[in-house]
Amino acid sequence: MMDERQAVAAFAALGQEHRLRIVRQLVTAGPEGMAAGMLAEAVGVSGTNLSFHLKELSHAGLVTSRREGRSIIYSAAYPDLSELIQFLMRDCCQGRPEVCAPAVAALAACCLPTGDTAHA
């Protein structure tokens, strides 16, 4: 479970526009992630700036990396991002589920499977 210190570090890392774009791009890329060059191009930063931002995001636990041949592939750290969302929402409704219902519905809608699975 994420504590307040970890949440502050994560929010501080996300509080910069390029870092927020990087995380959103990696979330969109899925678990496969993206090579550094493609990621830099997608978010509109130089390779040097990308490295700086990725280091900050990595220290905050929001991004992971792995080597594939000569490339470094970056991915969103989905478990940590989920914990950050849970940290925010943990005490949101205080017995009043209608307070959190819009956020829960938005998250549920984005996670629906695509395609027609009724005929599978």
Q: Where are the domains of the chain?
A: 4-110
Residue 102 CA from chain centroid, whole number? 20
Q: Which of 66, 28, 4, 1 is nearest to 54 (CA)?
A: 66
pLDDT the model gives residue 102: 85
Topology classification of domain 4-110: Arc Repressor Mutant, subunit A (1.10.10)
Q: Which of 62, 75, 73, 19 is nearest to 44 (CA)?
A: 19
Strands 71-76 and 34-35: antiparallel
Q: Which residue has the higher pLDDT, 57 or 89?
A: 57
Q: Determine contact, residues 4/38, Cβ cutoff 8 Å.
A: no
In this predicted model, what pLDDT tens digit does every residue of 71-118 receive, in sequence order?
A: 999 999 999 999 998 888 887 778 788 888 888 888 888 776 765 444
pLDDT the model gives residue 94: 81
